[in-house]
Structure 1
Amino acid sequence: MKWMVGIVLALVAMALAGAGLIVMVVVDSDASAAENADGGGGLQGVPEEFRPWILKADAACAEPEMTPALLASQLWAESKFKTTREEATSYAGAQGPAQFMPGTWATWGTDADGNGRNSPWDIADAVTAQGRMMCSLLRQAKSSGYGGDPRALALAGYNAGWGAVERYRGVPPQSFAGGETYGYVQSILAELKRFEGPGILQVSGSGAGVDALRRAAARAGTPYSWGGGTPAGPSTGFCDGTNGYLGGRCSASVTAGFDCSSLVQYAYWPSIRLPRVAAAQYGATSDRPVSRDNLQPGDLLFWSKAGSGSIYHVAIYAGDGKVLHAPRTGRVVEVQPIADAMPAGDYFGATRP
């Protein structure tokens, strides 16, 4: 099994003089597979080919009980990350790394990676379906009124069907199905720590900028979607004839995520109600410019081809010369050095909302 090795390449701490806060940035070995922030969303110990899809499946679910580690631990329990028909077909006929029965796959399966196949054997399709089903079960668990951990209820529903949870008004006991469901739930929750890793960005302190950075960092790993994203969270976008396409197909219309400016709007909402697009965000904050030498976490950085009317990208300063942003179609919300975020010659300036 191919395990993730050396997730963290560097940990940089920077104390901001006079601000009483510390920002720490963790740089991942794969910047395109960014992790969530503040301790609950990190991921480690998974095969590289599973990693981006676990992060995307987690990011697509608004339920706080969902984490990448929960999905990873569940995949380990289901198949040990195996993907071949010989190794990942159960005695009952469940298929693929997420172990879907054909009838259940018909409900939850989609062609998540756009390769023309909708298959429980495809890692992208399987993990995306797993995430969608678990997200739905978490919502059902929390609205059920049953006691206990919503994660345990959702896992039991995944394994035995929600009808079994309703029958026992909770996780079925050890006497049910030879203890299979009970053991399944206990094993997954016990293995969570094994898959929990440090988040890509840990933010301490308070204030409008720091709070906005923290809110945006909690969405790291969310896919880019041109025109997508609202103050309430990720949403599907649209294609305009030029933007939003991936591999010749309109990715934005089927991808729930953020573009650069909707991420910024989401980060500051509702304490500061910024406009929707990058140029307007610059216009709304340009009376508070910030030099490159005086950047603080939460400041907004802008890039343009020709003046303020042609601003095409905005990012949030994350400390230590790095930004948190949604770069472009095919990427995710991630941390990058300022110099690598966009062409250096297009850097236009920074403001403080």
Structure 2
Amino acid sequence: MKVLIRATAAVIAMFVLAVIGLMAMVLADADAEAIEVSDGGGGLQGVPAEFRPWIFKAAEECMEPELTPALLAAQLYQESRFQTKAASHAGAQGPAQFMPGTWATWGRDADGDGEASPWDIGDAVIAQGRMMCSLIKQAKKSGYGGDARALALAGYNAGWGAVETYRGIPPYAETQNYVKIILSTMTRFQGPGLLDVTGSGSGADALRKAANRMGTPYSYGGGGPNGPSTGFCDGRNGYLNGKCAASSTVGFDCSSLVQYAYWPDVKLPRTAAAQYGATSDRPVSRQNLKVGDLLFWSHGGSGAIYHVAIYAGDGNVLHAPRTGKTVELVPLTSAMPEADYYGATRP
């Protein structure tokens, strides 16, 4: 796969400074070029609408938290500028710039049209995600040190064999630029609500997964371990302006978002009250909250719990609040009525 650059290889070889200038040129071009911009929700912006669902799906299918939608988007932009007909002089094809031999390993019919093609957005992005997920796993097991994302990107560009040969990012100008440019332009594609979650463990991983769903609509009764879905109305909940919104809205409610975030490492039950019951033997005081802890609100006692949220650090929570709203990050003190706060647990 070839990095799309304007400078020729001869100029790079003759002038080291040209490499630096090339990076500046690509970064400036990324800011100047007009592309279709989405609504910015869900932790992703500046991405053509037809790419968004596939980027999210590719990130969700990988259990490695380093593979975020913003990383995939930045890589796609560097590979092809989101152009479906992109082709390189070396023979790389499609928006993710797969060489035919590499495509034979990773390509699948992800969009269900009966053909696995590197030119199809869905097929290409899912294959990109699967390959990057595998490379990130290899990077984390390699013991080479450094950023697993950088090693994975180097493997995508130059081949994992080159990473193994040099026990790190190969000293190829093209590959080193590829890695630097993608990691430095990720922020361009991060939506305004994306959380920068540090740390490891089930709590941090669950928060990362849930944060990728910021901007997803609230749907009463909707959602589950596999992602968002339509919900239902029960005579009281799920209505908006007098009409049942849940039955036609693909999204999460408060407890399905929590269940989705922790699944499959921690298989929490479906409702907020049941989630409290399953974790109440591990209570956490408000002063000792950690990222990933569950917070509950009640109308009176454990039998009347009506809302759950995930602690996101710095006094904030991530939650799906109510019909008409979306998954959002808000201060704990204003997430729900303060008088209804019941307590926190650690899954």
Same fold (TM over 0.5): yes
Q: Which amino acid aligns with 1:70?
A: L
Cα distance in 1 for partners of 2:139, 2:146 equals 9
Q: 2: distance between equivalents of 1:216 and 1:268?
A: 8
SS of 1:288's partner is: helix
> How many Å separate the matches in 2 of 1:183 and 1:272?
39
Q: Secondary structure at the match of 2:175?
A: helix
Please say if 1:196 is aligned against 2:227. no
Match of 1:217 in 2: 210
**Aligned counterpart, 1:48:** 49
Decide whether aligned partners of structure 1 residues 139 and 269 sit closer, same or farther in structure 2, where only a CA change above 3 A counts: closer
CA 1:126/1:259 → structure 2, altered by over 3 Å: closer, same or farther?
same
Change (3 A) 1:165 1:266: same
Per-residue CA deviation, residues 64-111 of structure 1 (Å, 9 max, x unaligned), is 211111111111111111112xxx111111110000011111111111
Mapped to 1, the partners of 2:167 and 2:60 lie a distance apart of: 29
Would you say how many aligned residue pairs link Structure 1 and Structure 2?
236
Superposed CA offset, 1:26-74 (max 9, x none): xx4xxxxxx2xxxxxx111111111111111111111121111111111
Q: Letter of the aligned partner of 1:53 in structure 2?
A: W
- Overall identity of the aligned pairs, in %: 61
Q: What amino acid sits opposite 1:195 in the alignment?
A: F
Matched, 1:70 2:102: no
Corresponding residue of 2:35: 3
Contact conserved, 2:224 with 2:257, CA < 8 A, in 1?
no
Q: 1:196 to 1:279 in 2, by over 3 A?
A: closer
Q: Which of the residues 154, 157, 180 maps onto 1:156? A: 154
The CA deviation at 1:268 is 6.9
**Residue type of the partner of 1:163?**
G
Distance apart, 1:167 and its partner CA: 0.8
2:283 equivalent to 1:289: no
Letter in 2 for 1:218: A
User: Could you say what secondary structure the match of 1:172 adopts?
Assistant: coil
- The whole-number CA distance in structure 2 between the counterparts of 1:275 and 1:104 is 41
In 2, the alpha carbon distance for the partners of 1:69 and 1:272 equals 26
Q: Is the 8 A contact 1:3 1:45 kept in 2?
A: yes
| Maintained 8 Å contact 1:70/1:189 | yes
Match runs of 1:224-243 below 5 Å: 229=225
User: Counterparts of 2:162 and 2:56 in 1: how far apart (Å)?
Assistant: 29
Amino acid at match of 2:210: A
The whole-number CA distance in structure 2 between the counterparts of 1:220 and 1:277 is 19
Q: Indicate conservation of the 8 Å contact 2:76/2:95, yes or no.
A: yes
Cα 1:4–1:276, aligned 2, differ >3 Å: closer, same or farther? Answer: same
Matches within 5 A, 1:67-106: 67-84=68-85, 88-106=86-104
Gaps of 5+ in 1: 9-27, 29-34, 36-41, 204-209, 236-257, 300-315, 325-333, 336-351
Residues 201 and 217 of structure 1 are in contact (CA less than 8 Å); yes or no, is this contact kept in structure 2?
A: no
Higher relative contact order (CA 8 A, sep 6+): 1
Q: Which moved more, 1:264-273 or 1:126-135?
A: 264-273
Q: CA deviation at 1:147?
A: 2.1
Of residues 321, 325, 332, the one that matches 1:319 is 321
The one-letter amino acid of 2:186's match is L
Q: 1:5–1:75: structure 2 CA closer, same or farther, 3 Å change rule?
A: closer
Return the letter of the residue paired with 1:7: D
Deviation at 1:216, TM superposition (A): 6.7
Is the 1:98–1:120 contact (alpha carbons within 8 Å) kept by the matching residues of 2? yes
User: More helix by proportion, 1 or 2?
Assistant: 2
Distance across 2 between alignment mates of 1:144 and 1:193: 27
Distance between the aligned counterparts of 2:207 and 2:68, measured in 1? 17
Cα gap change, 1:143/1:213 in structure 2, threshold over 3 Å: closer, same or farther?
Answer: closer
Instruction: Give the C-alpha shift of residue 7 in structure 1.
Output: 2.3
Q: Distance in 2 between matches of 1:90 and 1:212?
A: 37
Distance in 2 of aligned mates of 1:153 and 1:259: 35
SS at match of 2:75: helix
Q: Which among 175, 178, 182 is matched to residue 184 of structure 1?
A: 178
- 2:269 and 2:275 in contact (8 A); partners too: yes
Deviations 1:147-174 (A, max 9, x none): 2211111011001110000111100114
Give the 3-state SS of the residue equivalent to 2:320 in structure 1: strand
1:99-148 per-residue CA deviation (whole Å, 9 max, x = no partner) reads: 00111111111111111121000000000000000000000001001022
**C-alpha deviation, 1:321, in angstroms:** 4.8
Task: Tell me: CA distance 1:168–1:265, structure 2 relative to 1, closer, same or farther (3 Å).
Answer: same
Distance 1:58 1:278 in 2: 26
What is the RMSD computed on CA atoms of the aligned residues?
Answer: 4.4
Q: Identify the match of residue 138 of structure 1 among 136, 139, 145.
A: 136
- Provide the residue aligned with 2:59 in structure 1: 58
SS at match of 1:220: coil
Aligned-partner Cα distance in 1 for 2:104–2:66: 25
Q: What residue identity is the alignment partner of 2:183? A: L
Report if the CA contact (8 A) 1:216-1:264 is conserved.
no
